[in-house]
Amino acid sequence: MKVYAFPHGGIHFTDPTAPPRKESVVAFLPVLSVIPLIQHAGAKALPLVLAGASVREGMLIGRAQGRGSAHIHAAVPGQVVRMVSWEMAKGVTNEGFIIRLGGSFEQLGKPEERFSWEGLAPREIQQRIIHCGIVEMEGSGRPLEDLFASLNKPREPETPEPLTLVVRCVFDDPWLVADYVLCRERAAAVVEGSIILGRACMASRIIYAVSAREKDLGTMLLAEAQSYAIPASLVLVSSRYPQRNARELELALRSYEKHEIQEKGEKGENLERLALGSLVIQGPATLAAVRDALVLQRPILDRYVAVGGSAVKKPQVMKVRIGTRIGDIFAECGGFTGEPQKIILGSPLSGRRVFEKNLDEPVIKTSYALGALLAKQTGGRVIRNCIGCGECRAVCPVGLDPEALFKGIVFCKEKTKETHKEIIEKAVECHGCGCCDLVCPSRLSLSTAFVNAVLEDQ
């Protein structure tokens, strides 16, 4: 068994406070939902309904406005009570509708009516995905509309570059357990979503990139894909964090490509068919949503969320309606064991801290994990002296020297223009994986210092 990996750095880590890999629990439907107008990477969607309006399950209630924006739909039927706004982080506010649950569901509890997508042209598939407001649900929230816009640019007809769709099932962080459970429970939907998106992107092949320790999951996905015509392969990749990052995953896949060309080329296979070309990388939650958009004509109404952390009584993976308030979710997990010091949306390593521990913030399309951490888990980040141990250098996958960079940013007060430029050029290379923070015995906030230095320079 050959396992492909990025060449340098990274870490293996476990977290006993992350939820276990058990089957998902369906969360209660919220009586009051909060449906935000920003659930994506870009600008706020334009509100289409007013207070007092009745809305249906899956109804369009916010229209995308430009790059990075996506359509917003009502996740439950009911009545719009009012508009609200709240602060998500310093300087960033969100706005949304409060919807009181009422009326009948059009999809929930009904037998699935299947729509045929097989005869659609790529542009028609793209339009349906855009109409359903599908975004990259594993973190960034980039709308798939932006991906299509980049792919639809005129290409040289004589030399069309091949394109490979990569299905990223890489579980290098224990907080990705919701994606793992989704893959197990909805494997057929993930695979059908990958075939549909492959068609929309005019991909020449599909690669299922799966963590080596989940080989059986990869085998299951590949077997499911065999009933479709597009060539599909399974590539086992390392489980070392941050293997799932686009840069690290591409390094591993290029190494696979080289190996495959060498091995199969010697056997006389057509080398052109083995070239990966450009890569489109998508995760299982996004692909399941793509499948639901085409097969059920359904926007994103719910998502799998990993709920855990030292402050949560019963960590578990839950299937949650978009718009459910995080306080309701924690209550369904038995409440808190003590006063949480931090509430995090996403993994504790790379997620976003919920501003002022606001338990009214809702689950949105990109909320793959939700954590409540006691003070002993957060550890407190105070600046102590660097002891020059070199641990941070050893784990940086990009090959940076975080110690030197940190000292340059924080302690070098009288920088020349050239030194400042050099520091920023290095800081830009950091992709914020947080490996250096995790291993630093002095608990220095290294990655935050690098991100802030770049932001201040803009």
Minimum gap (Å) between residue 445 Cβ and ligand SF4 = 10
Amino acid at 20: P
Please name the helix (run of DSSP H) or strand (run of DSSP E) that holds residue 344, with its range, or none.
strand 342-345
Contacting residue, 42, 193, 348, 434, with ligand SF4 by CB under 6 A: 434
Minimum gap (Å) between residue 369 Cβ and ligand SF4 = 19
Contacting residue, 167, 220, 326, 440, with ligand SF4 by CB under 6 A: 440
Quick one: CA torsion of 339, 345, 347, 350, rounded to 10 degrees?
-110
User: Using the rule CB under 6 A, is 27 a contact of ligand SF4?
Assistant: no
Distance CA 167, CA 183 (A): 11
Q: Nearer Cβ to ligand SF4, position 5 or 188?
A: 5
Q: Nearer Cβ to ligand SF4, position 237 or 398?
A: 398
Q: Nearer Cβ to ligand SF4, position 260 or 401?
A: 401
User: Using the rule CB under 6 A, is 109 a contact of ligand SF4?
Assistant: no
Stretch that binds ligand SF4, among 16-24, 202-210, 289-297, 433-441 (CB under 6 A): 433-441
Characterize 8-41 residue by residue with b for buried, 16 or more Cβ atoms within 10 angstroms of its Cβ, and e for exposed: ebbbeeebebbbeeeebeebebbebbbbbbbbbb
Tokens at 228, concatenated:
């479709």
User: Using the rule CB under 6 A, is 196 a contact of ligand SF4?
Assistant: no
| Pairing, β 369-373 against β 54-55 | unpaired
Please provide residue 60's backbone torsions phi and psi, each rounded to the nearest 5 degrees.
Answer: -70, 120
> Which residues, 6+ apart, have CB-to-CB distance to 184 below 8 Å?
23, 217
User: Using the rule CB under 6 A, is 432 a contact of ligand SF4?
Assistant: yes
User: Using the rule CB under 6 A, is 249 a contact of ligand SF4?
Assistant: no
Stretch that binds ligand SF4, among 187-195, 196-204, 289-297, 442-450 (CB under 6 A): 442-450
Quick one: CA torsion of 53, 56, 62, 64, rounded to 10 degrees?
-160
User: Using the rule CB under 6 A, is 246 a contact of ligand SF4?
Assistant: no
User: Long-range pairs for 420-425 at CB < 8 Å and ≥24 separation?
Assistant: 420/457, 423/453, 424/453, 424/454, 424/457
User: Using the rule CB under 6 A, is 435 a contact of ligand SF4?
Assistant: yes
Tokens at 277, concatenated:
């070309």
User: Using the rule CB under 6 A, is 57 a contact of ligand SF4?
Assistant: no
Minimum gap (Å) between residue 429 Cβ and ligand SF4 = 7
User: Using the rule CB under 6 A, is 449 a contact of ligand SF4?
Assistant: no
> Which residues, 6+ apart, have CB-to-CB distance to 200 below 8 Å?
122, 125, 126, 129, 148, 290
User: Using the rule CB under 6 A, is 453 a contact of ligand SF4?
Assistant: no
Contacting residue, 280, 433, 449, 453, with ligand SF4 by CB under 6 A: 433
User: Using the rule CB under 6 A, is 379 a contact of ligand SF4?
Assistant: no
Minimum gap (Å) between residue 353 Cβ and ligand SF4 = 17
Distance CA 394, CA 444 (A): 16
Distance CA 143, CA 316 (A): 28
Q: How many CA atoms lie within 13 A of 310 on its CB side?
A: 14
Q: Nearer Cβ to ligand SF4, position 185 or 401?
A: 401
Tokens at 292, concatenated:
């639901």
Minimum gap (Å) between residue 392 Cβ and ligand SF4 = 3
User: Using the rule CB under 6 A, is 10 a contact of ligand SF4?
Assistant: no
Q: Nearer Cβ to ligand SF4, position 320 or 430?
A: 430
- The size of the interface with ligand SF4 (CB under 6 A), counted in residues, is 29
Residues 224-243 that bind ligand SF4 (CB under 6 A): none
Residues 286-325 that bind ligand SF4 (CB under 6 A): none
Minimum gap (Å) between residue 118 Cβ and ligand SF4 = 43
Q: Nearer Cβ to ligand SF4, position 235 or 444?
A: 444
Residue tagged 């479709």 (tokens):
228
- Order the strands of the 46-47 sheet from edge to edge: 46-47, 60-63, 72-73
Residues 382-411, mask of contacts with ligand SF4 (x by CB under 6 A) = ----xxxxxxx--xx-x-x-xx--x-----
User: What does DSSP assign to residue 30?
Assistant: P
Residue ranges that bind ligand SF4, judged by CB under 6 A: 386-392, 395-396, 398, 400, 402-403, 406, 430-436, 439-442, 444, 446-447, 450
